Chain A
Amino acid sequence: MNADAPLDNRREVETPEGILLHLSVAGPLPRALAWALDLLLRGILYLVLGLLFGLLGRGGMGLFLVALFLIEWFYPVLFEVRFGGRTPGKRALGLRVVHDDGTPMRWGTSVIRNLLLVVDFLPFLYAAGLASMLLSREFRRLGDLAAGTLVVHDRPAGAIPAIAPADKPRRPPVALDEEERQVLLDFAARLERLTPERARELALAAGPLVADAGDPVARLRDHAAWIAGEGR
């Protein structure tokens, strides 16, 4: 990683097939929100179970304590291993726990990761975990460091839409290199999400390419359609 590379939360993992996977590591804030949601959910669970078991007298109390123990220590483990690395709180925030090579969670690592939550909690309210997250390159708390896991953002479904075919694809007047072609393709794909004013503002940044065009946005769209359709 050279000094010119922009700061990014993407971590690259090389698979056995030789492909580089990009994982978007999640920072402390989404994780904190997910934790708060899980806390709320667990609280409700305790309440419900407490009421139910309370009806069964002292035996019920014993069962409640066992349930309390299991939920306290193993609630995240169950969800991480059986539900694709996502507790309900994480699922709501679009987060997922994976190993640092991209593979899904296993029992052993999940247990290590979650048993160390008590240390992350010290001295109060996950201060140690937060410090660890801020110091590590991939926002790992102590449990993540010991278990070799990451918390990543799930790719949102429905990403950038395909380019709509234009009326008259138009070859760019100059030869563009690959990055420039890609920029045009992305611009055309994003047009639906931009306001007309913003689209025009961006299109005008192309400078000489749109200098003689009445509608710079349409001109760039035509160029992009040509690149996608007839290409090289």
Chain B
Amino acid sequence: MNQQDFIASREAAWQRLEALLDGRDGPQAELPALYRQACHDLALARERRYGHGLIVRLEDLVLRGHQTLYRSRHDPWPAIARWLAGGLARAVRREWRFVAVSAALFYLPALFAIGLVLWQPQLVTSLLDVEIIRQMEAMYDPSRPDAVGRDPERRADSGLMMLGYYIRNNTGIGFRTFAGGIAFGLGTLFFLLYNALMLGAVAGHLSAIGFGETFWPFVLGHGALELNAIVLSGAAGLMLGHALIAPGRLRRLDALRLRARAALEILWGAALMFLLAAFIEAFWSPLAGISVTLKYAVAGLLWSLVIAYFLFAGRRHGA
């Protein structure tokens, strides 16, 4: 068959396919059959070496059909609800080794920094910038009326401002910790250690100079979510790094790609925890009229809830 007859006989079908792909009205049920015919026509046109104008047009048609037919279309909300109810916890339990290493890399240096600063208070200047020390002291000085957790004049809109700040700052830290994992895990390592030492130094220093009564009630509440979210981000980053370092039988790229999906699941959990922590940090923790005991109690409750969720949620038949 020559090119012109070919075009003449197939043109109508191609136009119908184009109309369906453009989203114009037409019997949608015809799309798969029309697409398969277009694939066949493309193969013929290539084999018979018809002009490139025709081949390019058919390639375009086939590519668009391919993209339309093979996109994923499903309602995500029930799956998200199921994931929150237990899927996230299962994912974290599945990767418990990475979570454990990340927790160790975060909490141990933090505790070490706290202990170090409590034992030798003058060492804080070698861990922290003097300017930051001064800022922290100003924030948590119990004798100042506008310290966190003390200021009864706090307005609702400054809470909103701090919410925005915390969401941006803290989730950004989490994402960066994750992204650093692609540098064979070294970036994640750096972020975890750096943040751990900073936090530990601040905590130790403030406790050493007697500001602990302002600091700990404030931090422990949202810390249940925020600190563990940092741990989860670190775990996700370590998963990336591990895929690159020890890909097993796969090529490094393939291992990275596979593990990136799993790591992302953990990171979503971390992002959610950052969000919740930001709300608590902006609206609950700074409340002035609450007694310290109540704040500690709520903090204890939050820690228990977080640990219980990750230990027990979503367990069925030994998952």
Q: Footprint of B on A, CB under 8 Å?
A: 15, 17-19, 21-23, 56-66, 68-69, 72-73, 98, 101-104, 106-108, 111-112, 115-119, 142, 145-148, 155, 159-163, 178-179, 181-182, 185-186, 188-189, 227-232
Contact = CB atoms under 8 A, between A and B. Distances in A.
B53 A162 contact: yes
21 contacts: A15-B39, A17-B39, A62-B163, A65-B161, A65-B167, A72-B172, A73-B171, A103-B67, A103-B70, A108-B264, A112-B260, A115-B178, A118-B176, A155-B60, A162-B53, A178-B49, A182-B51, A185-B3, A227-B2, A228-B51, A231-B1
Contacts of B183: 119
A229 B53 contact: no
A162 B156 CA distance: 68
A62 B60 contact: no
A82 to B, nearest CB: 12
Given A103-B71, A178-B49, A182-B51, A62 B165 contact: yes
Contacts of A119: 179-180, 182-183, 187
A105 to B, nearest CB: 9
Nearest to B268: A111
Contact of A111 (B42, B56, B264): B264
Given A98-B67, A148-B257, A231 B3 contact: yes
Contacts of B260: 112, 146-147
A224 B117 CA distance: 86
Nearest to A65: B164
B264 A15 contact: no
B34 interface: no
Interface of B: 1-5, 7, 35-36, 39, 42-43, 48-54, 56-57, 59-60, 62-63, 66-67, 70-72, 76, 155-165, 167-168, 171-172, 175-176, 178-180, 182-183, 187, 240, 253, 256-257, 260-261, 264, 267, 282
A65 B168 contact: yes
A62 B240 contact: no
Contacts of B167: 65-66, 69
A66 B178 CA distance: 20
B164 A62 contact: yes
Contacts of A106: 72
Given A155-B60, A162-B7, 12 more contacts: A59-B157, A61-B160, A61-B161, A62-B165, A68-B164, A115-B175, A115-B267, A146-B260, A181-B49, A182-B50, A186-B51, A228-B4
Contact of B62 (A21, A62, A64): A21
A103 B66 contact: yes
Contacts of A188: 51
Nearest to A160: B53
Contacts of A111: 264
Nearest to B6: A231
Given A62-B163, A185-B51, A15 B2 contact: no
Contacts of A65: 161, 164-165, 167-168
A131 to B, nearest CB: 13
Q: Which of B72, B76, B176 has the most CB of A within 10 A?
A: B72
A184 to B, nearest CB: 9
A69 B168 contact: yes
A64 B161 CA distance: 8
Contact of B256 (A15, A62, A69, A146): A146
Nearest to A116: B179
Contacts of A108: 261, 264
B240 A73 contact: no
A113 B161 CA distance: 30
A186 B63 CA distance: 22
